[in-house]
Structure 1
Amino acid sequence: MSVDRGAALYDLLRHVRPLTLNSARVVEAALRPYHLTVGMRAVLEVLSEAGPATVPAIATRLDLARQGVQRHVDDLVRLGHVEIRVNPAHRRSVLVALTAAGADVFAHVHADDLRHLAAMAPECTPEDIATATRVLQALGRDVRKRAAE
Structure 2
Amino acid sequence: MKGSETPLPPDQLADRLTEVFDLVGPLYRRVYRKVEQDESIEGLSVGVRAVLDLLRQHGPMTVPQLGRAQTLSRQFVQRMVNDAAAQHLVEAVANPAHQRSSLIRLTADGVAAITAVHAREHAALRQVGGDLTDADVDACVHVLTRMLALFDDVDVP
Both proteins in one fold, TM over 0.5:
yes
Q: Alignment partner of 2:151: what SS? A: helix
What SS is found at the alignment partner of 2:92?
strand
| Aligned position for 1:93 | 101
1:143 equivalenced with 2:155 (yes/no) = no
1:124 is displaced (CA, Å) by 1.8
Who is 1:69 aligned against? 77
- Identity, in percent, stands at 33
Say which SS state the counterpart of residue 152 (structure 2) adopts: helix
Equivalent residues of 1:40, 1:73 under 8 A apart: yes
Match of 1:47 in 2: 55
Unaligned stretches of 5+ residues in structure 1: none
Aligned length: 147
Unmatched segments (≥5 aa) in structure 2: 1-8
Which of 107, 123, 128 is matched with 1:115 structurally?
123
1:104 equivalenced with 2:112 (yes/no): yes
Following superposition, the deviation at residue 88 of structure 1 comes to: 1.1
Larger relative helix fraction? 1
CA distance in 2, matches of 1:29, 1:123: 29
Partner deviation per Cα, 1:39-80 (whole Å, 9 max, x = no partner) = 100000010111111000011111111100000000010000
Give the stretch that moved more between structures: 1-10 or 97-106.
1-10
2:142 to 131, 134, 143: 134
Q: 2:13 aligns with which of 5, 8, 20?
A: 5
Q: Which residue is equivalent to 2:25?
A: 17
SS of residue paired to 1:28: helix
The one of 30, 40, 49 equivalent to 2:38 is 30
SS at structure 2 position matched to 1:93: coil
Please give the TM-score of this superposition, normalised by the length of structure 1.
0.93
Alpha-carbon deviation of 1:121? 4.5
DSSP 3-state at the match of 1:97: strand
**Aligned-partner residue type, residue 42 of structure 1:** A
Equivalent residue letter for 1:85: V
